[in-house]
A = this chain, B = another copy of it.
Amino acid sequence: MLHEAALAPAATAVFTAVLTEGPLSRVALARRLDLSSAAVTKGARPLIELGYLEELAATERTGPGAGRPASPLAVRADREFFVGVKITGDELIGVVCDLRAEIRASAHRPLPTPDVDQVLASLASLVDELLDGDFRARTRRLGLAVSGDVDYSTGLVRYSPFLGWRDVPLRSRAEQVIGLTVTVENDVKALTTAEHWFGEGVGAESFALVTVGAGIGCGLVVGGRLVSGSHGVAGEIGHIAVDANGPDCHCGGRGCVEALAGASAIVRQARAVAGRPELTLPDAVALARAGDAAVGAVFDRAGDAIGAGIAAVANLVGPARIVVSGEGLSAYDLFEPRIRESFQRQAFGAAADCPLSIRPLPFEQWARGAATVSIKALVAS
Inter-chain contact B239/A348, CB cutoff 8 Å: yes
Inter-subunit contact B239/A315 (CB<8 Å): yes
- The residue from B220, B235, B244, B349 contacting A255, defined by CB atoms under 8 A apart: B244
A297-347 interface (Cβ within 8 A of B):
304-305, 308, 311-321, 345-346
Number of copies of this protein chain within its complex: 2
Chain B residues with CB under 8 A of A222:
222-223, 227, 317
Across the interface, do B317 and A229 meet the contact criterion of CB distance under 8 Å? yes
Within 8 A of B (CB), among A220-261: 220, 222-223, 225, 227-246, 251-256
Spot the interface stretch: A20-28, A42-50, A350-358.
Answer: A350-358
Judged by a CB distance under 8 angstroms, whether A205 is at the interface is yes
Report Cα–Cα, A201/B232, bound state, in Å: 18
Q: Bound complex: CA of A229 vs CA of B204, how far in Å? A: 11
Q: How far is it, in angstroms, between the C-alpha of A254 and the C-alpha of B241 when the chains are bound?
A: 14
Q: B252 contacts A345, CB within 8 Å?
A: yes
Docked CA distance A240–B242 (Å)? 8
Beta-carbon nearest neighbor of A236 in chain B: B315
Contact of A206 with B by CB under 8 A: yes
- Does A315 lie within 8 Å of B353, measured CB to CB? no
Chain B hits for A204, CB < 8 A: 230
Whether B229 contacts A351 by the Cβ 8 Å rule is yes
Q: 19 A-B residue contacts at CB 8 Å?
A: A206-B230, A222-B222, A222-B317, A223-B227, A227-B318, A229-B317, A229-B319, A230-B354, A231-B354, A232-B318, A232-B350, A233-B350, A238-B348, A240-B312, A240-B316, A242-B242, A244-B255, A244-B308, A317-B317
Taking Cβ atoms with an 8 Å cutoff, the residues of A that contact B are 204-206, 218, 220, 222-223, 225, 227-246, 251-256, 304-305, 308, 311-321, 345-346, 348-351, 353-354
